[in-house]
């Protein structure tokens, strides 16, 4: 994508965040071929369930529950639109003192964007979805009222985008946090590169390049979450937030406990040594040279991922480490996502992981020694 196009995309994301209510007039295509128009109700008072999201006001708490449990609350344009509009409505509503974001069902908070829907959409519709998603992420990150996100259970991709940038981020012993985009030919987006770059040492590179799943304890240790709350105490947390005048941070702290020891951070020695490189090939060679079984396993895992997506991911995390600004990271995410969307690996990754589920993608190129640096520069934007 050319620099001028990227700049216009930046302006689009920023503009949509400033005037997010206008998003509801955009038309998207669902994965089953039907068209729908996301519409915004005049006011989010009381209780409303529609389009896969449950929105209500309980006491002084604005409560948003992603409500698509059969798909682990995978995100659609309609869900993002209603979520975003509720935040706009409550921002200046004195009757709402804090906001809670959680997910329905016992499987997880949010498995991310509906990748099958995105893969079957055209480029314009994919762009519209990502612009809406990234605008909502930035809106959450900048929200002026306390916003608590409970990332209980599976929380991946877009789920990390919604929950990982909230003011108060809660995980449990059931949390499974991941940015698995390289499995389907994409790179971590929704500001995930920034979270990965902020992790201690080079742990974030390891997590991003292997699509590793973190526990709740790992998420706190790496900065993806703030507090650990046992799942049995989540109802107490919600009840405390509902009380008028309650301070959200105090309520969260009251039910939080010291998390178990992270199993990921003690591996920093071999991680920091192996990932301190400027290419995927060099990282793989370093991992293979290690004696630790986990390092060898990491190399074997990376070799199953899209080589182009790996190279792009390495670059985007490095760039996020140099520029700790979520707005600019999200602008780059849009350019990168669109660039990878146009590559054959994305469709192939979705086919292998989501549609046919043979888990045997045929990447192009098939190996990291076939990575074209020029293509990577074009996707990421040469610096």
Does residue 181 have an active-site annotation? yes
The predicted pLDDT at position 355 comes to: 94
Catalytic residue among 113, 163, 191, 216: 113
Report the distance separating Cα 313 and Cα 13, nearest Å.
21
Q: Is 33 left (phi over 0), alpha (psi -120 to 50) or beta?
A: left
Closest CA to 334 of 299, 272, 267, 379: 379
- Is the pLDDT confidence value at 24 over 70? no
Rounded to whole angstroms, the maximal C-alpha distance in the chain is 61
The predicted pLDDT at position 382 comes to: 58
For residue range 185-218, what is the model confidence (pLDDT) as tens digits? 999 999 999 999 999 999 999 999 999 999 999 9
Per-residue pLDDT, averaged over 29-45, amounts to 30
Whole-number percent of the chain with pLDDT over 70:
86
Q: Is 264 left (phi over 0), alpha (psi -120 to 50) or beta?
A: alpha
pTM: 0.87
The predicted pLDDT at position 122 comes to: 87
Does residue 339 have an active-site annotation? no
Strand spans (E) along 153-228: 154-156, 168-171, 176-178, 214-215, 227-228
The CATH number of 3-380, from 3.40.50.1820, 3.30.930.10, 3.90.226.10, 1.20.140.10, is 3.90.226.10
Nearest-5° Cα angle at 167, 315 to 181: 30
Q: How confident is the model at residue 121 (pLDDT cuts 50, 70, 90)?
A: confident
Contact 198, 318 (CB under 8 A): no
What sign for the dihedral angle of Cα 120, 125, 126, 130?
negative
Does residue 108 have an active-site annotation? no
Q: Which residues pair with 66 in a beta bridge?
A: 53, 103
The predicted pLDDT at position 373 comes to: 96
The predicted pLDDT at position 9 comes to: 43
Q: How confident is the model at residue 50 (pLDDT cuts 50, 70, 90)?
A: low
- Is the pLDDT confidence value at 97 over 80? yes
Catalytic residue among 189, 226, 333, 345: 189
The predicted pLDDT at position 260 comes to: 98
Is 121 or 294 the better-scoring residue by pLDDT? 294
Backbone dihedral angles phi then psi of residue 205, each to the nearest 5 degrees: -60, -45
7 contact partners, CB below 8 Å, separation of at least 6: none
Per-residue pLDDT, averaged over 338-363, amounts to 96
The residue count for the chain: 383
Does residue 189 have an active-site annotation? yes
Catalytic residue among 103, 158, 163, 240: 158
The predicted pLDDT at position 273 comes to: 98
């Amino acid at each position: 994508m050319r620099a001028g196009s990227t700049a216009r995309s930046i302006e689009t994301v920023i503009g949509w965040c400033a005037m997010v209510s206008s998003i509801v007039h955009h038309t998207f295509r669902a994965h089953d071929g039907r068209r729908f128009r996301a519409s915004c109700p005049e006011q989010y008072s009381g209780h409303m369930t529609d389009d896969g999201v449950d929105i209500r006001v309980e006491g002084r708490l604005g409560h948003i529950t992603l409500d698509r449990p059969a798909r682990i609350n995978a995100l659609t344009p309609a869900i993002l639109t209603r979520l975003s509009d509720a935040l706009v409505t409550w921002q200046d509503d004195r009757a709402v003192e804090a906001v809670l974001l959680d997910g329905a069902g016992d499987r997880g908070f949010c498995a991310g964007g509906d990748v099958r829907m995105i893969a079957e959409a055209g480029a314009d519709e994919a762009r519209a979805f990502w612009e809406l998603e990234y605008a909502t992420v930035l809106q959450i990150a900048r929200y002026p009222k306390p916003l608590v996100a409970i990332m209980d259970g599976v929380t991946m991709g877009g789920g990390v985008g919604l929950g990982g940038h909230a003011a108060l981020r809660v995980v449990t012993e059931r949390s499974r946090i991941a940015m698995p985009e390289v499995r389907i030919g994409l790179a971590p987006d929704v500001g995930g590169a920034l979270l990965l770059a902020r992790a201690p040492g080079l742990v974030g590179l390891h997590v991003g390049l292997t699509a590793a799943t973190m526990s709740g304890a790992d998420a706190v240790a790496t900065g993806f979450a703030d507090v650990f709350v046992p799942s049995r105490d989540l109802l107490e947390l919600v009840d405390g937030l509902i009380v008028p005048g309650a301070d959200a941070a105090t309520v969260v702290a009251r039910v939080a406990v010291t998390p178990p020891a992270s199993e990921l951070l003690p591996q920093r020695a071999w991680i920091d040594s192996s990932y301190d490189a400027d290419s995927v090939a060099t990282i793989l060679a370093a991992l293979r040279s290690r004696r630790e079984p986990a390092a060898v396993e990491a190399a074997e895992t990376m070799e199953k991922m899209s080589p182009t997506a790996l190279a792009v991911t390495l670059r985007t995390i490095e760039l996020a480490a140099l520029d700790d600004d979520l707005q600019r990271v999200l602008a780059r995410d849009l350019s990168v996502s669109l660039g990878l969307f146009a590559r054959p690996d994305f469709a192939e990754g979705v086919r292998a992981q989501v549609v046919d589920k043979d888990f045997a993608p045929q990447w192009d190129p098939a190996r990291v020694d076939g990575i074209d640096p020029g293509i990577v520069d074009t996707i990421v934007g040469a610096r």
